[in-house]
């Protein structure tokens, strides 16, 4: 297994998030960590673990959408949809068209605690890795 680049930034003191970061390295995912925020790169999609004020602990998934029918967006949509479907949880969606010519689809999955978020994310990322490496 290759050594995934991790950018520790300001390390978290949360044991569950530290476990997530260890698992990301073991699974070969590139990530950045700033305190209790961890950003994971899954092919063309971005997965963020963060505590959102007024909402709680959440996973934010972002995928680039095609601007025209000639564009290929599978590199972000495939991992985006796979991860969301593998979590089996309620999802909130938002279409961001704030940058002309670069629409983004965002999804938010809220969790009750850090442990359940980390367990669910590690399982989903491991399933995605197995699916895409065979």
User: Per residue in 14-66, pLDDT tens?
Assistant: 788 889 999 999 999 999 988 778 999 999 899 999 988 888 899 999 998 87
Q: pLDDT of 70-129, one tens digit each?
A: 666 677 888 999 999 999 999 999 999 999 988 999 999 999 999 999 999 999 999 999
Token pair for 11: 């390390």
What is the predicted pLDDT for the residue at 56? 85
Tokens linked to 1 = 């297994």
Cβ–Cβ under 8 Å, residues 133 and 125: no
123: how many CB neighbours lie within 10 A of its CB? 13
């Amino acid at each position: 297994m290759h050594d995934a680049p991790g950018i520790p930034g300001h390390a978290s003191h949360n044991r569950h998030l530290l476990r997530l970061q260890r698992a990301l390295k073991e699974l070969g995912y590139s990530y950045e960590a700033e305190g209790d925020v961890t950003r994971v790169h899954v092919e063309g999609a971005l997965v963020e673990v963060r505590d959102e004020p007024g909402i709680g602990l959440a996973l934010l998934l972002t995928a680039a959408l095609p601007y025209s029918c000639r564009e290929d967006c599978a590199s972000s949509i495939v991992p985006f949809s796979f991860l969301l479907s593998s979590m089996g949880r309620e999802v909130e969606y938002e279409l961001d068209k704030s940058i002309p010519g670069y629409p983004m689809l965002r999804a938010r999955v809220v969790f009750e605690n850090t442990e359940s978020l980390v367990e669910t994310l590690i399982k989903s990322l491991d399933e995605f890795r197995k699916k895409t490496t065979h």
